[in-house]
């Protein structure tokens, strides 16, 4: 089994946690494929990378199954393989209570947060199986451990599903040398907070997790020897008692 991880796909790389993870992996020397829906945001992320010249832009909506297939083909053509998959793309909506949650918003959250994660696995896993090596990290949410009205019913349901997907992956693929970790971040200061029904103040934003905190956890997982796997990892703000 190879111990060296050299290439990575990071979804949701245009901002927030995904941008922080891409920066950390690039600084480690990995070649990074930046995936997201907005090419301009991906370009902004690439400009921040320590080795941005070795990164590629791969615009894609993870909810688009055919688009994900094309994206993976593009990355494999450029990198030869995908050693690390960071399934980070996610979304939430402003109207979250079951009394106001629309079917359209429900479908959008499930399509991005859950089905999008499956779409990525479906395309990336065959190559990892062939090489008997790979690391898949689901950047989930604390809402995937404990349902909450803060995250909302739809978001929590999608994140519980993403968690189950990652845990099943770890159990099914470990004997093929593929490791899977589900990370459950608490509140993180990212653009997703802008969708909150009640605005989050600057003092609160400064006190909660920052994208680089989650990126540090990812760096730890990437640096682990392949004989060690971490099925689940919870990271929360010190100031919170939710978990």
Catalytic residues: 155
Question: How far apart are the C-alpha atoms of 54 and 51, rounded to whole Å?
Answer: 6
* Number of residues that make up the chain: 243
* Other beta carbons less than 10 A from residue 123's beta carbon: 21
Reported as type and span, the H/E element at residue 208 is none
Residue 54 main-chain phi, psi, to 5 deg: -100, 0
d(CA 203, CA 7): 37
Tokens 């929360």 belong to which residue? 236
CA distances from 72 to 87, 119, 174 (A): 13, 10, 22
| C-alpha of 128 from chain center | 18
Q: Is 153 exposed, middle or buried (0-12, 13-18, 19+ CB in 10 A)?
A: middle
Kind of pairing between the strands at 232-235 and 134-139: unpaired
Task: State the DSSP H helix or E strand holding residue 22, giving kind and residue range, or none if neither.
Answer: helix 16-27
Contact 178, 134 (CB under 8 A): yes
């Amino acid at each position: 089994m190879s111990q060296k991880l050299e290439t990575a796909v990071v979804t949701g790389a245009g901002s927030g946690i995904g941008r922080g993870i891409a920066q950390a992996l690039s600084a480690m020397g990995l070649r990074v494929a930046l995936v997201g829906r907005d090419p301009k945001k991906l370009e902004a992320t690439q400009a921040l990378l320590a080795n941005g010249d070795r990164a590629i832009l791969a615009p894609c909506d993870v909810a688009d199954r055919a688009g994900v297939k094309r994206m993976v083909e593009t990355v494999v053509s450029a990198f030869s393989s995908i050693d690390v998959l960071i399934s980070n793309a996610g979304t939430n909506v402003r109207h979250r209570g079951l009394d106001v949650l629309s079917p359209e918003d429900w479908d959008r959250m499930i399509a991005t947060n859950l089905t999008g994660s499956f779409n990525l696995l479906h395309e990336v896993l065959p190559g990892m199986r062939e090489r008997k090596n790979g690391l898949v990290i689901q950047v989930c949410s604390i809402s995937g451990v404990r349902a909450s009205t803060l995250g909302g019913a739809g978001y929590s349901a999608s994140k519980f599903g993403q968690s189950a997907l990652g845990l099943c992956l770890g159990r099914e693929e470990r004997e093929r040398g593929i490791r899977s970790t589900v990370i459950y971040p608490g509140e993180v200061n990212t653009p997703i907070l802008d969708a909150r029904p009640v605005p989050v103040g600057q003092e609160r934003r400064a006190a909660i997790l920052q994208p680089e905190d989650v990126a540090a956890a990812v760096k730890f997982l990437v640096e682990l020897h392949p004989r060690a796997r971490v099925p689940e990892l919870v990271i929360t703000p010190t100031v919170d008692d939710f978990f």
